[in-house]
Amino acid sequence: MSVQKITILGATGSIGRSTLDVLKAHPDKFALHAISGGSRVEPLLDIAEAFRPARVAVADERALPALIAGAKARGLTGIELSAGAEASVKFAEDAEADQVVQAIVGAAGLAPTFAAARAGKRLLLANKESVVCGGALLMRTAEEKDAKILPVDSEHSAVFQCLESATAKTRETARIVLTASGGPFRGRKDLSGITPEMAVKHPKWSMGRKISVDSATLMNKGLEVIEASWLFGVPADRIDVVVHPESIIHSMVTFDDGAVLAELGNPDMKTPIAYALSWPERIVSGVAPLDLARIGRLTFEAPDLETFPLLRIAYEALAAGGDRTIVLNGANEEAVAAFLDHEIGFTAIADTVRAALDACAQTTPASLEEIFAVDAAARAATRRYIERTRCGGR
Ligand code: NAD
Ligand code: MG
């Protein structure tokens, strides 16, 4: 295999950095081609210094002077520097890149994901929000343009691996079982008084702030149910969730004959990232081998949908179809941001998402532009609800 040129969108985040760790271990296989980030320039320049990519972009246009000055100060010449949200779209469709790692957080990843699909890219997809919003249109675009979507989300990587040997006919009745760690508040009934600092401390995985809060509310699992439904073409009633706090089984598939296939490993995103990078081969990821005797026991329980209603709300949105999952996602992003800014409490996240779904009449978007419009309207409705409740006008 010749050296593959890798582009990472959202390179400075948790998934981005884990990807860089895998690339670093395989200079004979991979070279970093382009990186983008949100607004922070110094971590982008640190990566540029270590890996010397051809292109570096920052989404926040105001950060361009700092990017240029910083590159000059570090003697980084010959690197194409740019800024703006469009930069990640250009990187996603760049003909020179062999693989595009989509590690942006939130619906900000929607346009780059579609760009990569339209360009027929090999797309290593961590950005679940773009699947949740893109839905059928995204899957159709990828298929038409012969783009290969390789899931990076650990559950979906597991399902992908478990389904690899299944025929199309077998897949028609297979059931997906997504495992959930349960988050930091598993077992609690009273979720009052939870601060952002408490919510972002995950017991098993080290992740970005937004997904950590989603993990704590179980919305992350709800988004993953929707993601699995689109990626694998399986309806909501054939996707189950089981809480498995040790996070050793990353998900399972059950078949008609009673057989259950599972993928196991230590909880470290480098495993699914390495698999997506090397598929259909396997390479060393740097993750320690699994020692089951030391772990001793694996435990399971049903999710508590009373205390964590967002998982149920996500199932309902998926079953309702149309634009519901887009509204769900946009409202959740706004509510989580408000929670992280200490504007609303932890339990208000679910109330806010429910209110936004009620406030937005259901439509069926047929284009990417219409998806953007639904997302924008959902966010505006969410902000209005948050302002109203903050002013005590409920
Ligand atoms: P993070 O917050 O650590 O990183 C997000 C990255 O996106 C940062 O590099 C940030 O600068 C960048 N970014 C934000 N807006 C941008 C924009 N408009 N253009 C370009 N870059 C932008 O988040 P994360 O934990 O790495 O998660 C990234 C995605 O992967 C999310 O969709 C998340 O749900 C998914 N995911 C993460 C994990 C995990 O273990 N962290 C696991 C599975 C899936
Ligand atoms: Mg996951």
Q: For the chain, list the domains and their CATH numbers.
A: 4-152 (3.40.50.720), 167-265+303-390 (1.10.1740.10)
pLDDT value, residue 1: 65
Pocket test for ligand 1, best of 7, 17, 105 (most atoms within 8 A of CB): 105
Calculate what percentage of the chain has a pLDDT beyond 90: 97
Place of tokens 């996500």: 314
* Alpha carbon of 205 to ligand 2 centroid (Å): 10
Structure tokens at 273: 């990232």
Report the sign of the C-alpha dihedral through residues 344, 347, 349, 353, in that order. negative
Pocket test for ligand 1, best of 14, 213, 214 (most atoms within 8 A of CB): 14
Q: How many Cβ atoms are within 10 Å of 285's Cβ, its own excluded?
A: 22
Cβ(15) – ligand 1 distance below 6 Å: yes
Residues 6+ apart with CB under 8 A from 329: 107, 129, 132, 133, 223, 375, 378
User: Is this model's pTM higher than 0.95 or not?
Assistant: yes
Cβ(88) – ligand 1 distance below 6 Å: yes
* Alpha carbon of 322 to ligand 1 centroid (Å): 26
* Alpha carbon of 104 to ligand 2 centroid (Å): 14
* Alpha carbon of 279 to ligand 2 centroid (Å): 19
The closest residue, in CA terms, to atom 17 on ligand 1 is 38
**ipTM (interface pTM):** 0.99
Q: Kindly tell me if the per-residue pLDDT of 40 is higher than 80.
A: yes
Q: Read off the pLDDT of residues 68-104 as tens digits, 9 standing for 90 and up.
A: 999 999 999 999 999 999 999 999 999 999 999 999 9
Pocket test for ligand 1, best of 8, 15, 20 (most atoms within 8 A of CB): 15
Query: Any bridge partners for residue 175, and if so which?
Result: 254
pLDDT value, residue 394: 42
Q: Kindly tell me if the per-residue pLDDT of 390 is higher than 90.
A: no
